[in-house]
């Protein structure tokens, strides 16, 4: 109930876990192909986020590809921090 984190925790049903998985994979540079457009999500590769990972994508649409060797090509230029 009491934590050191000043941000309020959200119930898991209120968080968009598919966008969090994409954000986590982009943040950790895990190889894969990622796409999102409104409610449509595509993640080929990547990883599921840790329960404590607060980040998400703050854009309506985007595409990203991460290749081995930490090469990243993405239309997303925002941040993953919660707003």
For 17-31, write each residue's pLDDT tens digit.
889 999 999 999 999
Q: How many domains does the chain have?
A: 1
In a domain, 34, yes or no: yes
Examine residue 20 and state whether it is found in any structural domain, yes or no: yes
pLDDT: is 9 or 65 the higher one? 65
Residue 50: give the domain boundaries: 14-74
Question: Three-state SS string across 12-40, please?
Answer: HHHCCHHHHHHHHHHHCCCCEEEEEECCE
Token readout for 24 is: 């986590």
Q: Is residue 40 part of a domain?
A: yes
- Whether 47 maps to a domain, the answer reads yes
User: Mean of the pLDDT values across residues 66-72?
Assistant: 90
Over range 7-36, report the average pLDDT. 78
pLDDT category, 5, cuts 50, 70, 90? Answer: very low
Average pLDDT on 21-49 reads 93
């Amino acid at each position: 109930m009491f934590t050191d984190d000043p941000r309020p925790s959200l119930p898991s049903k209120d968080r968009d876990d598919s966008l969090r998985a994409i954000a986590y994979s982009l943040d950790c540079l895990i190889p894969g192909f990622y796409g999102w457009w409104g409610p449509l999500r595509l993640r080929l590769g990547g990883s599921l986020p840790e329960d404590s990972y607060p980040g998400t994508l703050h854009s309506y649409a985007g595409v990203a590809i991460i290749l081995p060797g930490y090469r990243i090509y993405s239309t997303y230029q925002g941040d993953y921090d919660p707003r």
